[in-house]
A = this chain, B = another copy of it.
Amino acid sequence: MMMKKFTTTMFALSICLYAGAQESVDMAAVQKIRKEGLENSKVMNLAYHITDVSGPRLSNSPGLKRAQDWAIKQFNEWGLKNVHLEAWGNFGKGWQVEKYYAATTLPYYHPIIASPKAWTPGTNGPIKSEVVLIKADTITDLDKYKGKLAGKIVMFDQMSNAALQNSYKADAVRHTDEALEKMAKDTLQVRRGGRPAGNNNQMAMMLKMRETRAAMVKLLLEEKVGLILTYARGSYGTFFTSNGASYALDAAPVSPELEVSSEDFLHMLRLLKGGEKVEMEAEIKTSYFDKDPQGYNVIAEIPGTDKKLKDELVMIGGHYDSWHSGTGATDNAAGSAVMMEAMRILKSIDFKPKRTIRIALWSSEEQGLFGSKGYVTKHFGDSKTMVLTPDQKKISAYYNLDNGTGAIRGIYLQGNVAAGPIFQSWLAPFSDIGAKTVTVNNTGGTDHQSFDAVGIPGFQFVQDPMDYNTRTHHSNMDTYDRLVEEDLKRSATIVASFVYNTSERAAQIPRKELPTPPPATAARP
C-alpha cells in the first residue's frame, strides 16, 4: 500500500445499504474451495518465495525481476494460460543496495541501524568524518557552511523534540466485533484532496521551510557533502523507509543520504547538541538499473468456458513491488501470495469458469499505483478523459488485497450500494472464520482505485490491522516472520470463493454511475 500523500476532507453521504433479494450461493463449490484453501494451503510457501527467496522488490530492481520470473514459472507449472510479463509504460531506473556499513567511531564505536534512501547514490568507497550538525532556519543561515562540508557527514537539527514514547498500546490488533458492527453501519466517506481550511500561516511556514530545505539540498550537493543523515520514523530497531531521489532516467544528481533509525539518530543529535565530538565511518554502495526503463505487471489466466461469457473477465490482483529495507512481506507479498493461492485453489479443484479469471501482480504501486493505472488505461480506459474501451464493459469486477497479513473480515463497497446484498450472501459461508462485514465505505491508497476510476467495480477487502501501521508498512521489519499462516489461508479461501461466484453469476456485478473526470480547477495542489 502506498503512502497517502494528501490531506483529505471528509463528506458524509447518507447512503444506506439496499437489502435486495437473496443471492444464491453454490455451497458444494464453496465446500471444495474451503477444503483446498484451509486444509491444503500452499500460501506460506508462495510467500516464502516472494519474500525470502526474491528479496526486496523495489520497482525495476533485480529483486522484483527475480520475483516476477518465479511467478511466471509458478503460474505455468499450475497450468494457467496467457502467462506473461506485460509492460504498462515507462517507469525509470531500478536501484538496489550493494553495501551498507555505518558506525560511530567517536565518542566510542557503535554500529548504526539504517538504510540508504531509495535511489540515492553511495559514498564512493569508505568515508570517515566528524558529524556536522547543520543549524539553519533560513537560506542566509547556510552561508556559514560554505566551503566547509566537502566529504563531511552531516545531520540536521530535526526531531529534537521527539521523545520516543514507551508503547503502552499493543503493536498488533484485530478488529473487535464492535468495530466491525460500526463499520457495517458506516455512511460513505468521500475523500477529496485539497488543502485544509484556515491554515494560511502554516502553509506559508511550510513553503518557507521547503524553500530553505531545497537551498540546503543544493548547497550540500555543490559542496560535495559525504553523506546526509536523516531521521527515520520508528522505534526499538524498526525504522520506516522511503525514497530520497527521483527514479527518472534523467533525474538530477543528489547527495548520498542515509535514513537512520530513531535511536541512533537521536543518540548522535543529543551528543552534538551536548557539545561532544561525534565521528562516523560509513561505506555505502548502490546500483542503478536503466537498461530497460519499462515497468511490467505479471498476468495469468484461467480461461472462461461459457460460450457467451468467456470473453468477460473477473480480475484479482495485488501489488508485487515493495520498499527496499525489508522484504515487503505484509506490503505486499501477503496480498500477492493470497491472490496467487486463490488461483491455485481454483485450478486445483479443476474449476472451469464461465467468465475468464485473470490475476495481475502489479508493479510500481508504491510510486503511485503506476502498474495498475497503466494497465487499466491500456485495457479499459483513461480516467483523465473518461474515454473508455469496449473491454471496460466486459469486466465484472476487480478484487484487490493490500492491507497486510490480517485475515479478511469483510469488504469495502466503495460506495457501490447495489453490490452490498450480493457480497453479504457471498460472505455468509465464512462467518465462522470471522468474515461477515460489508461496509459501504471507501478505502484508498491501492490498486482497486485504478479500476474504480474508470467505472469498473473495484474492491479492496477489510482486513485485521495486525501490526501493519505500527511495525511493518514500509519498514525494515516487513519480513516473512510477520506473516500469519492462518490469516493468509482464510483470505485466499474467501477470495477464491468470491472469484468463483463472480465468474458464475448470471449478471455482472452492478456498477455505480460513471465518474465524471475532475475539472481542471479541482486539481490537487
Contact = CB atoms under 8 A, between A and B. Distances in A.
Interface of A: 48, 52-53, 55-56, 62-63, 66, 96-101, 103, 107-111, 113, 115, 163-164, 166-174, 235-239, 261-263, 266-267, 270-271, 274, 276, 327, 466-467, 471, 476-477, 479-482, 484
A169 B467 CA distance: 11
A168 B164 contact: no
Contacts of A274: 48, 52-53
B164 A172 contact: no
A168 B101 CA distance: 33
A279 to B, nearest CB: 13
Nearest to A234: B237
10 contacts: A56-B108, A97-B109, A100-B103, A101-B101, A166-B484, A170-B170, A171-B171, A236-B238, A236-B477, A237-B238
Given A52-B270, A53-B274, A108-B63, A167 B170 contact: yes
Contacts of A166: 171-172, 466-467, 482, 484
A237 B477 contact: yes
B173 A170 contact: no
A108 B238 CA distance: 21
Given A168-B174, A237-B238, 12 more contacts: A52-B267, A53-B274, A66-B108, A96-B109, A98-B109, A166-B466, A169-B170, A171-B171, A235-B481, A236-B236, A236-B471, A237-B476
A134 to B, nearest CB: 20
Contacts of A237: 113, 236-239, 261, 476-477
Contacts of A115: 111
Contacts of A100: 103, 109, 111
A261 to B, nearest CB: 7
Given A479-B263, A481-B235, A167 B172 contact: yes
Q: Please indicate which of the listed interface residues A48, A56, A479 has the most CB atoms of chain B within 10 Å of its own CB.
A: A479
A40 to B, nearest CB: 20
A170 B168 contact: yes
A98 to B, nearest CB: 6
A263 B481 contact: yes
A307 B128 CA distance: 60
A482 B108 CA distance: 20
Contacts of A481: 163-164, 235, 262-263, 266
Q: Please indicate which of the listed interface residues A108, A327, A480 has the most CB atoms of chain B within 10 Å of its own CB.
A: A108
